Amino acid sequence: MPGARICLGQIGAPHGVRGEVRLHSFTAEPTAIASYGPLETEDGRVFEIESLRPAKHALVAKLSDIADRDAAERLANAKLYVPRDRLPEPADADEFYHADLIGLRAVDDAGRECGTVVAVHNFGAGDLIELRRLDAAQTELLPFDAATVPEVNVHSGTIVINPSPLAGVGGEAKRNRTKNPARKSSTSRAAIGSRRRRRP
For the domain that residue 105 is a member of, what is the CATH number?
2.30.30.240
- Mean pLDDT throughout 130-151? 88
Q: Give the three-state DSSP class for 65.
A: coil
pLDDT grade, residue 183 (50/70/90)? very low
Together in a domain, 124 and 148: yes
- How far is residue 113's CA from residue 160's CA, in Å, rounded to a whole number? 9
% residues pLDDT > 70 (the chain): 80
Note the pLDDT of residue 166. 55
Q: Tell me, yes or no, whether 23 lies in a domain.
A: yes
Q: Tell me, yes or no, whether 92 lies in a domain.
A: no
Note the pLDDT of residue 23. 97
Given a cut of 50, is residue 94 above it in pLDDT? yes
Given a cut of 50, is residue 83 above it in pLDDT? yes
* pLDDT tens per residue, range 96-109: 887 889 899 999 98
Q: Tell me, yes or no, whether 197 lies in a domain.
A: no
- Mean pLDDT throughout 66-80? 96
* pLDDT tens per residue, range 109-127: 888 998 999 988 877 777 8
pLDDT grade, residue 2 (50/70/90)? low
Note the pLDDT of residue 26. 87
- Mean pLDDT throughout 33-55? 95
Together in a domain, 70 and 124: no
Note the pLDDT of residue 126. 79
Domain boundary residue among 56, 86, 116? Answer: 86
126-146 residues labelled b (16+ CB within 10 A) or e (exposed): ebbbbbbbeeeeebbbbbbee
**Length of the chain in residues, anyone?**
200
| Residue ranges of E strands in the chain | 5-15, 20-25, 39-40, 46-47, 49-55, 58-63, 79-83, 105-107, 113-122, 127-133, 139-143, 151-153, 158-160, 174-176
Choice among 69-73, 122-126, 153-157 with the minimum mean pLDDT: 122-126
Q: Which domain holds residue 21?
A: 5-86
Together in a domain, 74 and 121: no
Domain boundary residue among 86, 109, 126? Answer: 86
Note the pLDDT of residue 51. 96
Given a cut of 80, is residue 197 above it in pLDDT? no
Given a cut of 90, is residue 180 above it in pLDDT? no
- Predicted model pTM: 0.64
